[in-house]
Amino acid sequence: MLDEFTIASIQGYISQLGVIYQYLIIAYVLLSWLPSARESFIGEMLGKLVDPYLSPFRRLIPPIAGMIDISPIVALIALRFVVMGINTIVGWLLGVFV
């Protein structure tokens, strides 16, 4: 049997994973300001983790004035909504068994 504490713990873990991924996106964006930082080991590793998520947003949202990319901001907002939605679904699904 699942109690409310267990459901809240699972939702907390999901939220923490979302926050960690948000920090990875922010770190990747900040690396773009440093010359040749994306070619480093950390930059390549972050790119492999973050680029698959950011690429659909980059295709849909063109850069402003040809050089300012706001797609990571939209991606962060979308990620926030996705995490809230997953938490709601998990709470509803697991709440059925309480």
Task: Parse the chain into domains and list their residue ranges.
Answer: 4-95
Q: What's the CA gap between 22 and 75, in Å, rounded?
A: 9
What confidence score (pLDDT) does residue 56 get? 95
Residues of the chain with pLDDT under 70: 1, 97-98
What confidence score (pLDDT) does residue 19 get? 98
Q: What's the CA gap between 98 and 94, in Å, rounded?
A: 7
What confidence score (pLDDT) does residue 97 get? 64
What confidence score (pLDDT) does residue 94 get? 86
Predicted model pTM: 0.88
